[in-house]
Chain A
């Protein structure tokens, strides 16, 4: 276990190193206009531009620029090109919002996905199963930003049942307002995953239910309910739980950018989207590295949890 974790941490560092280099290079190679010219503004003199180049180290060799930038990333002192704010401070403002969105949605999609998947499997072949299958497939096929936009228009603007976007801190508006503002984003983000999870769980259950050990369990004389919960559901849930960790990593690590933008939640994803619109490289770089960090971290956690849940898996193999 200890060796596994050490190895994975080294692996994480290497992957993030690769991600940072790639992201850094992408913005060096692509001719997107000289940032110094944009920063200096319209009526600037060549000397002003040269001065900016100097202070921002744009004239250094590229590897030095990389090292310099990474140092700033890890000391939290990276500065945005466009408005000279501290990137880490801005990210810190967005993180609680992104986490609030991701965690809430993850809970919703897990709970709904598992209940609907179980229900479908138990009723497999029946009318409700088919209806749920169709709904799940529709859910999987809908772009989140479109659903989000329609939800906030109809449920928020037209009927006025929910706020029309925005985020309220718990400290400001209280717990109720916080939830009230997040219900629509949570739902919009969860719809896709509910569809995916319920379908996967349903088919896992239907696979497992024909497994030999389930027949053994039935032959023991325990109730059908116990067979279903202790053997079928338990074993079918293991892959779902690992998937949950991976998807949560993806959502936190950038996957929520569309939802955040549509509902104007001002999370990290939206910060990223706005920064890229201004070709503001530092925030883009730092958010991407942070996203990769979450994804790799959750991957590792999932590996460990998987090994704990399924004794056949050996860590490190």
Chain B
């Protein structure tokens, strides 16, 4: 195995609020190899975005506390000074955000917004920057790029704006790309196009990608490894095959049961897991999933450790492997990897 490019170790993020402390991320450890695609999957509020943004220090503030480490090429990101982080942001680690409709400055031209990032890291002439911007926009599939660079965000559709965000993220050829739910806000067909584009780019550039999503169906085809998050913790982690064919955590079973497949219209989602995710302010003791878990037993009042069941496939559940095998309803392979043909070609 190659040396990982990014190693997150025991990351904890707390936010101090009027009501008390929100434990948004609790003891998350992850690693990312060069060129690898790691998917972080979990329901809304499970702490995915907080994890992602902590890496670039985008959620630093007087009420935020970070513990643990995140090593990127010899730099510890959580404790790095703002100046050091700034050199990494955009140039080494780039990020695509959840909502393309609001993530671009509404009163600046698209081209200028991409150029701003390039100029922050490289000394180039105006003409060189302009050429680079147009080239980037063409690469992500924006037609008439030279002309469109002079447009404002409101003149773009959601899908086109997300393409702009991707062009922006790729503009300095980063080593790591963090995509925080890049397709959630988009139509299903556009979703497929954007994912396809990200996949192509990964193959062209060899950028390592952290893909954040709440939809397992989205990642089947693109990810190498998957980390499932629940209530601020990683509950299961493993390769795509391991998660899809041999899921260990009851929450993962539930997620697999509620998968959205690209070929199925949005409205026809399979039933999702009953109940609400836990409040991260005073989270329940023990396993966070306990309250919604059909297989809860007294042991669950203690926090289960993230236990490695062999070769990096780990999960947080007190059930034994045999018990799990007996109890899980999703039979391996029944809902599994979307076949290549199922993803609508772009």
CA distance A195 to B105 in the complex (A): 28
- Contact present for A222 and B58 (CB under 8 Å): no
The smallest C-beta distance from B225 to any residue of chain A, in angstroms, reads: 24
Tell me whether A311 and B107 are in contact in the complex, defined as CB-CB below 8 angstroms, given that A216-B97, A219-B89, A220-B116 are known contacts. yes
Q: Is B120 an interface residue (CB 8 A)?
A: yes
CA distance A223 to B102 in the complex (A): 21
Tell me whether A222 and B95 are in contact in the complex, defined as CB-CB below 8 angstroms, given that A234-B107, A235-B107, A311-B107 are known contacts. no
Q: Is B152 an interface residue (CB 8 A)?
A: yes
Q: Is A217 an interface residue (CB 8 A)?
A: yes
Among listed A63-71, A152-160, A207-215, A262-270, interface-contacting one: A207-215
Report B124-173 residues with CB < 8 Å from chain A CB.
Answer: 152, 154, 165, 168
Chain A hits for B212, CB < 8 A: none
- Contact present for A213 and B56 (CB under 8 Å): no
Chain B hits for A112, CB < 8 A: none
Residue from A221, A230, A312 having most chain B Cβ neighbours under 10 A: A221
Tell me whether A221 and B102 are in contact in the complex, defined as CB-CB below 8 angstroms, given that A311-B152, A311-B154, A312-B154 are known contacts. no
Chain A hits for B89, CB < 8 A: 218-221
Other-chain contact of B117, A212, A221, A231 (Cβ < 8 Å): A221
Across the two chains, which residue of chain A brings its CB closest to B91?
A221
Chain A hits for B95, CB < 8 A: 219
Other-chain contact of A220, B90, B99, B107 (Cβ < 8 Å): B90
Q: Is B103 an interface residue (CB 8 A)?
A: yes
Report B204-258 residues with CB < 8 Å from chain A CB.
Answer: none
Residue from B91, B99, B103 having most chain A Cβ neighbours under 10 A: B103
Among listed B11-19, B34-42, B80-88, B335-343, interface-contacting one: B80-88
Report B73-119 residues with CB < 8 Å from chain A CB.
Answer: 82, 86-91, 94-95, 97, 99, 102-107, 116-117
Chain A hits for B94, CB < 8 A: 219
Other-chain contact of A223, B86, B88, B90, B97 (Cβ < 8 Å): B86
- Contact present for A213 and B106 (CB under 8 Å): yes
Q: Is B331 an interface residue (CB 8 A)?
A: no
Q: Is A309 an interface residue (CB 8 A)?
A: yes
CA distance A221 to B82 in the complex (A): 10
Across the two chains, which residue of chain B brings its CB closest to A212?
B102
Q: Is A310 an interface residue (CB 8 A)?
A: yes
Chain B hits for A231, CB < 8 A: 105
Q: Is A224 an interface residue (CB 8 A)?
A: yes
CA distance A89 to B177 in the complex (A): 71
The smallest C-beta distance from B87 to any residue of chain A, in angstroms, reads: 7
Chain A hits for B152, CB < 8 A: 311-312
- Contact present for A220 and B117 (CB under 8 Å): yes
Chain B hits for A222, CB < 8 A: 86, 116-117, 120
Chain A hits for B87, CB < 8 A: 221
Chain A hits for B56, CB < 8 A: 218-219
CA distance A221 to B119 in the complex (A): 10
Tell me whether A309 and B121 are in contact in the complex, defined as CB-CB below 8 angstroms, given that A219-B94, A221-B87 are known contacts. no
Chain B hits for A39, CB < 8 A: none
- Contact present for A221 and B121 (CB under 8 Å): yes
Chain A hits for B90, CB < 8 A: 219-221
- Contact present for A213 and B103 (CB under 8 Å): yes
Q: Is A238 an interface residue (CB 8 A)?
A: yes
The A/B interface has a contact count, at CB < 8 Å, of: 71
Across the two chains, which residue of chain A brings its CB closest to B90?
A221
- Contact present for A213 and B104 (CB under 8 Å): yes
The smallest C-beta distance from A311 to any residue of chain B, in angstroms, reads: 4
Tell me whether A224 and B116 are in contact in the complex, defined as CB-CB below 8 angstroms, given that A213-B102, A215-B97, A217-B105 are known contacts. no
The smallest C-beta distance from B161 to any residue of chain A, in angstroms, reads: 11
CA distance A211 to B86 in the complex (A): 19
CA distance A221 to B94 in the complex (A): 9
- Contact present for A212 and B86 (CB under 8 Å): no
Tell me whether A211 and B88 are in contact in the complex, defined as CB-CB below 8 angstroms, given that A234-B107, A311-B152 are known contacts. no
CA distance A219 to B169 in the complex (A): 9
- Contact present for A309 and B99 (CB under 8 Å): no
CA distance A67 to B224 in the complex (A): 84
Chain A hits for B86, CB < 8 A: 221-223
CA distance A223 to B87 in the complex (A): 10
Chain A hits for B116, CB < 8 A: 217, 220, 222, 230
The smallest C-beta distance from A153 to any residue of chain B, in angstroms, reads: 45
Across the two chains, which residue of chain A brings its CB closest to B98?
A212
Chain B hits for A215, CB < 8 A: 53, 58, 97, 103
CA distance A278 to B265 in the complex (A): 78
The smallest C-beta distance from A119 to any residue of chain B, in angstroms, reads: 18
CA distance A105 to B104 in the complex (A): 36
| A residues whose Cβ falls under 8 Å from a Cβ of B | 211-213, 215-224, 230-231, 234-235, 238, 309-312
Given contacts A220-B90, A221-B88, 7 further A-B contacts (CB under 8 A): A215-B53, A216-B105, A217-B116, A218-B56, A219-B58, A221-B87, A235-B107
Top-6 shortest CB links A-B: A221-B90, A221-B89, A220-B117, A212-B102, A213-B105, A311-B152
A to B CB contacts below 8 Å, 25 in the list: A211-B102, A212-B97, A212-B99, A212-B103, A213-B102, A213-B103, A213-B105, A215-B103, A216-B165, A217-B105, A218-B56, A219-B58, A219-B90, A219-B94, A220-B89, A221-B86, A221-B89, A221-B90, A221-B120, A222-B116, A230-B116, A310-B106, A311-B106, A311-B152, A312-B106
